[in-house]
Amino acid sequence: MATVMPEAAVFQGLSWNPLTDVQQLFTYPFMVNALAAGTIVAVMAGVTGWFMVLRRQTFAGHTLSVIAFPGAAAASLAGLPLAVGYFGFCGLGALALAGIAGSRRSLSAESAAIGALQALALALGFLFVTLYHGVLNGLDSLLFGTFLGITTQQVVVLLAVAAAAVGLVAIAARPLFFASVDADVARAGGVPVSALGFGFLLVLGLSVAETSQITGALLVFALLVTPAATAHQLTARPALGIALSVALALAVTWLGLALAYFSIYPVGFYITSLSFGLYVLVRLGRALGRRRRATARLALRAA
Amino acid sequence: MTAMATSLRPDTGSRKGAAVTFDGAAVRLRGRTIWSDVSLTVAEAAFVAVLGPNGAGKSTLIKAILGLLPLAAGTASVLGRQPGVAKGRIGYLPQRHGFDSGTRIRGVDLVQLGLDGTRWGIPLPGSPSRKRDAARVAEVIELVGATTYARRPIGELSGGEQQRLLIAQALVRRPRLLLLDEPLDSLDLPNQAAVAALVRRICEEEQVAVLLVAHDINPIIGYLDRVIYLAGGGAIEGAPEEVITSETLSRLYGAPIEVLHASDSRLVVVGQPEAPFVHGDRHA
């Protein structure tokens, strides 16, 4: 029975009994690994994404995610594990971005340089895919994500990297917040602003490399930016904001994985659509709230 | 230049009790001398304005006091130490153009950063140190009169409200010296006067020396103890009515300057050369 039921379960799809459906999700080791990996990645992306949005470094984050693509393609080409390519290229990309930020003369020159780096990364990725004679298995999943075939070993690596990165952010939380909000005052007070900026880019590189492994290189933003941006809309309190960012990233990841499991559509699509939907809802809600408050003020003045 | 840089009258505070002392100081930036042979003393708990045309090195003076820029010549003492040593006892508000309306940070968190923004790690919620910090933050916000709007995102506040919260942030660690770089810059006239009055009150109640960089002396002249006027690569320090005179400023600029007293008791400085003159490499 135990050997037959799970096989059938996959093809049964949704039973519409929540308890059975959730049980189904945990039937296969691949799905357990996917949920574990998704959870780790969501926590890390929620924390680092909140700081990235605060620091207005989403363009740098996006560039790192584009750099993840040639990393994965190069790893495939060399016959190495994908994670090596992701971490290696994102780490190098973070160093390059830190170099650009360190030598910046103006903000526009900086974003232009980052854009140039992004184009180079995409071109390199395309080159590696072509060198692979165009039959790189799972090009789609490199770009748009997959939750199939995540091994227990991969989960352990994800956990170790995420724990280190989140730990570093926690230790540096207040000086990093200070440097992000008010760099001049922070520097005058003795905060190592430049070193923190460099360290944060490295942590961001690690986060992008991790997130790419679930959402694919092009949909990293669904976990790294959208939940964090939604959290910033919902609250201006820092601790609550980070908690919300993590909670939203977790919610869309779990729901996205579950939906992908029960349907034929890819997981990247679900995670992206869910987080985008949440973001739109929150922005609409805030706009409506503002209008209602404005109307109330007008009514008060008229009375 | 020596005559111009010396104090016009003996300082009220003794040298030992001074918050800031410069002696024959000079700063060079990228091979250009910004000012040189500057000697001045800021007494404890004095309210001093730093005035002068654009490019005269007003912000440079603040950065030299903070120890962010090294002196090319001369000596400096800040709170009895080398510049840059007594960071924890200096409150600093840099020149800025306000937070844009999208900034989602509460004023109270910004003030809190002034207190614990340099500490590593995360404090446990509900710990005694955290409660102490929160009490101090509330106290200093009350002092600047920002209690009603401190919990709103700072981007939604007016320039004057933002400036009060930033002054609270600079004050939260009970500094002995407060450096305010153009805090009145983006404010309308009533707000300029209100913030100047607030700084005067803080100066007396908290016994903190204040250096306030300003463009226009008129909104603050009634509250000041002393003036440091930077121009022409040098500086003059003294009481406002002694420094802001045709003779003193002409000597400082090395060109004829006229100080007019308008009927509403406002001062108008006429004939000051434009910034390129000030940038001239007279001391190189």
In this complex, is the C-beta atom of A101 within 8 Å of any C-beta atom belonging to chain B?
no
Which A-chain residues 141-200 have CB contacts (< 8 A) with chain B? 170-175, 177-178, 181-182, 184-191
DSSP collapsed to 3 states, chain A: CCCHHHHHHHHHCCCCCHHHHHHHHCCCHHHHHHHHHHHHHHHHHHHHHHHHHHCCCHHHHHHHHHHHHHHHHHHHHHCCCHHHHHHHHHHHHHHHHHHHHHCCCCHHHHHHHHHHHHHHHHHHHHHHHHHCCCCCCCHHHHHHCCCCCCCHHHHHHHHHHHHHHHHHHHHCHHHHHHHHHCHHHHHHCCCCHHHHHHHHHHHHHHHHHHHHHHHCHHHCHHHHCHHHHHHHHHCCCHHHHHHHHHHHHHHHHHHHHHHHHHCCCCHHHHHHHHHHHHHHHHHHHHHHHHHHHHHHHHHHHHC
Q: Is A73 a residue whose pLDDT tops 60?
A: yes
Closest Cα of chain B to A278: distance in Å? Answer: 19
- Cα–Cα distance measured from residue B225 to residue A123, given in angstroms and rounded to the nearest whole number: 65
Top-confidence range, A198-207, A213-222, B84-93? A198-207
Give the per-residue pLDDT at A213.
83
> Residues in chain B whose beta carbon is closer than 8 A to a beta carbon of chain A?
66, 68, 87-88, 90, 92-94, 96, 104-106, 109-110, 113-114, 116-122, 152-153, 169-170
pTM: 0.84
Do B164 and B146 contact (CB within 8 A), yes or no? yes
Give the per-residue pLDDT at A6.
43
Give the per-residue pLDDT at A212.
86
Domain span at residue A184 reads: 28-302
Residue of B nearest to A187 (CA): B68
Domain holding A87: CATH number?
1.10.3470.10
Q: Which residue has the higher pLDDT, B102 or B63?
A: B63
Instruction: Among A130-139, B67-76, B216-225, name the one with the lowest average pLDDT.
Output: A130-139
Instruction: Report residue A106's pLDDT band, with 50, 70 and 90 as the boundaries.
Output: low
Give the per-residue pLDDT at A30.
86
Chain segment A176-200, per-residue pLDDT in tens: 999 998 888 888 888 999 899 999 9
Average pLDDT over residues A283-293: 88
Residues 6 or more apart from B97 whose CB is under 8 A from it? B185, B186
Q: Is B273 a residue whose pLDDT tops 70?
A: no
In chain B, which residues have their Cβ closer than 8 Å to the Cβ of A186?
113, 117-118
Task: Specify if A12 maps to a domain.
Answer: no
Task: Specify if A8 maps to a domain.
Answer: no
Task: Specify if A263 maps to a domain.
Answer: yes
Q: How many domains does chain A have?
A: 1
Instruction: Report residue B72's pLDDT band, with 50, 70 and 90 as the boundaries.
Output: very high
Closest Cα of chain B to A53: distance in Å? Answer: 11
Residue of A nearest to B98 (CA): A182
Task: Specify if A15 maps to a domain.
Answer: no
Residues 6 or more apart from B256 whose CB is under 8 A from it? B250, B271
Chain segment A248-278, per-residue pLDDT in tens: 999 999 999 999 888 888 888 898 999 999 9
**Do the strands B90-93 and B73-78 form a parallel or antiparallel pair, or are they unpaired?**
unpaired
In chain B, which residues have their Cβ closer than 8 Å to the Cβ of A177?
113, 117
- Taken in order B138, B139, B143, B148, the sign of the CA dihedral is positive
Residues 6 or more apart from A15 whose CB is under 8 A from it? A21, A24
Task: Specify if A144 maps to a domain.
Answer: yes
Q: Is A4 a residue whose pLDDT tops 70?
A: no
In chain A, which residues have their Cβ closer than 8 Å to the Cβ of B117?
174-175, 177-178, 182, 186, 189, 191
Top-confidence range, A208-212, B19-23, B190-194? B19-23
- Average pLDDT value for chain A: 85
Chain segment B133-153, per-residue pLDDT in tens: 999 999 999 988 899 999 999
Task: Specify if A129 maps to a domain.
Answer: yes
Task: Specify if A19 maps to a domain.
Answer: no
Residue of A nearest to B173 (CA): A189
Give the per-residue pLDDT at B274.
53
Q: Is B279 a residue whose pLDDT tops 80?
A: no
- Cα–Cα distance measured from residue A187 to residue A179, given in angstroms and rounded to the nearest whole number: 7
Average pLDDT over residues A120-143: 78
Cβ–Cβ below 8 Å for A236 and B106: yes
Q: Is A31 a residue whose pLDDT tops 70?
A: yes
Task: Specify if A73 maps to a domain.
Answer: yes
In this complex, is the C-beta atom of A233 within 8 Å of any C-beta atom belonging to chain B?
yes
**Which structural domains are found in chain B, ordered by start?**
2-86+176-279 (3.40.50.300), 100-174 (no CATH)
In this complex, is the C-beta atom of A137 within 8 Å of any C-beta atom belonging to chain B?
no
Give the per-residue pLDDT at B280.
36
| ipTM here | 0.79
Q: Which residue has the higher pLDDT, B183 or B186?
A: B183
Give the per-residue pLDDT at A165.
93
Give the per-residue pLDDT at B64.
93
Give the per-residue pLDDT at A231.
95
